């Protein structure tokens, strides 16, 4: 379909170039981490600012529990379970090796307490209990996890259990983990707050969150640790400074301190050398375009959701925004129909793109309007 290119006029731009005066900073290479794989990604723009083997599928250990949590949160959202539901602890859950919440066989524990035991204490017993409650068995729950992964576009992940205990066909990629962490934060803010909780007491036993960065860095508010002998020490971290949130994933380091230091180094790098700006709010008119054979002659165009860009610090004034719009738009036009693209460039590099969509529906015009427009189109 032919398109036309059109600059975005200053009145339509939300780029207030005069607001920043800092000189551009050169961006050095990312810090060395000693990790098997890592990724550092902006939450809003989804731009990857640093990575190493981020698409490689490797053992994730207890990082797996992010997907377990996503599945449980989805069941809560859909009204299939509640936080107050009581779960009877099976012998299998009680016997699951590794980190524990210390639930007891035959006892009933609330979904809320089990979630906190899984999130804060990384309890494998709590995790299996939740999986069995939702799906009947852990194997069936793993199939549910894989379905969610497919729906989220996690192409480098596959699950055979809910806990992250080693399995030949159990793996995730750093890129998939970052995507999943972002969706947890975006979709379930009311539950995400538990990832910043430093301790949890159950059955008179207090255990502490293993994420050391919660004590070291006030901007950190999650997310999850993981460790097995074969996976090494892993950490997913999210931190927010002012309006910028970063997500880091570090997999396969050799100690608790190493995973914390690697994660801190990546976050410091991201916040020091990059900045994120919201360029447009979703639903705001950025342009209008002629509509043929409709009950109105024009349609308003904008982005369906907010558009963000992550750029090197000091480069804000160098951004260049333009748009392409379909050259011939014919009614009917449904609200939300893609009719073009917004392009944001830094130099010769496109750093952000998003569809321009119809902000309102345009119905077919009358018989005479359609005939008249058909005649006019003949001479276009």
- Catalytic positions: 62, 65, 122
Task: Kindly state the greatest CA–CA separation across the chain.
Answer: 82
User: And the tokens for 98?
Assistant: 């590794």
Cross-strand partners of 309 = 277
User: Which residue bears the tokens 């400074």?
Assistant: 241
d(CA 366, CA 373): 11
Phi-psi region of 106 (alpha: psi -120 to 50; beta: other; left: phi over 0): left
C-alpha closest to that of 330 among 304, 299, 284, 356: 299
In the numeric block, the tokens 């639903």 are attached to 283
Contacts of 38 (CB under 8 A, 6+ apart): 50, 51, 52, 54, 174, 248, 249, 250, 251, 262, 266
Structure-derived torsion over alpha carbons of residues 209, 77, 87, 126, reported in degrees to the nearest 10: -20
The answer to whether the beta carbons of residues 66 and 268 sit under 8 Å apart is: no
Q: Report how far residue 377's alpha carbon sits from residue 379's, in angstroms, rounded to the nearest whole number.
A: 5
Which ranges of the chain would DSSP assign to H, the alpha helix?
A: 65-77, 91-95, 111-119, 124-135, 138-152, 174-187, 189-192, 213-216, 256-273, 367-378
Across the chain, how many H-helices and E-strands are there?
10, 20
CA 373 – CA 295 distance, rounded (Å): 11
């Amino acid at each position: 379909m032919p398109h036309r290119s059109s600059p975005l006029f200053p009145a339509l731009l939300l780029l207030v170039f005069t607001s920043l005066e800092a000189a551009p900073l050169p961006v050095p290479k990312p810090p060395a981490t000693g990790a098997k794989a890592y990724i550092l990604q902006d939450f809003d723009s989804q731009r990857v600012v640093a990575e190493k083997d981020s698409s490689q599928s490797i053992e994730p250990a207890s990082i797996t529990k992010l997907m377990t949590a996503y599945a449980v949160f989805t069941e809560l959202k859909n009204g299939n379970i509640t936080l107050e539901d009581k779960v009877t602890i099976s012998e299998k859950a009680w016997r699951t090796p590794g980190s524990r919440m210390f639930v007891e066989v035959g006892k009933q524990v609330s979904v809320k307490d089990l979630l906190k035991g899984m999130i804060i204490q990384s309890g494998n017993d709590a995790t299996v209990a939740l999986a069995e409650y939702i799906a009947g068995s852990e194997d069936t729950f793993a199939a549910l996890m894989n379905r969610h992964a497919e729906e989220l576009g996690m192409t480098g992940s596959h699950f055979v259990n809910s806990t992250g205990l080693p399995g030949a066909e159990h793996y995730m990629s750093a890129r998939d983990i970052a995507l999943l962490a972002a969706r947890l934060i975006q979709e379930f803010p009311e539950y995400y707050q538990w990832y910043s909780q430093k301790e949890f007491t159950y059955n008179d036993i207090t255990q502490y969150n293993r994420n050391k960065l919660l004590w070291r860095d006030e901007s950190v508010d999650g997310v999850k640790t993981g460790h097995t002998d074969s996976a090494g020490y892993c950490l997913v971290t999210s931190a927010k400074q002012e309006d910028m949130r970063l997500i880091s994933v570090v997999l396969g380091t050799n100690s608790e301190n190493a995973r914390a230091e690697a994660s801190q180094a990546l976050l410091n790098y991201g916040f020091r050398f990059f900045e994120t700006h919201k360029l447009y709010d979703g639903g705001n008119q950025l342009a209008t375009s002629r509509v043929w054979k409709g009950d109105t002659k024009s349609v308003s165009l904008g982005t369906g959701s907010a558009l963000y860009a992550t750029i090197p610090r000091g480069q804000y004034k160098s951004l260049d925004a333009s748009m392409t719009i379909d050259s011939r738009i014919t009614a009917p036009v449904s609200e939300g129909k893609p009719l073009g693209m917004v392009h944001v460039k830094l130099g010769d590099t496109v750093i952000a793109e998003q569809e321009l969509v119809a902000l309102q529906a345009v119905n077919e015009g009358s018989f005479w309007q359609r005939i008249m427009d058909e005649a006019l189109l003949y001479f276009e």
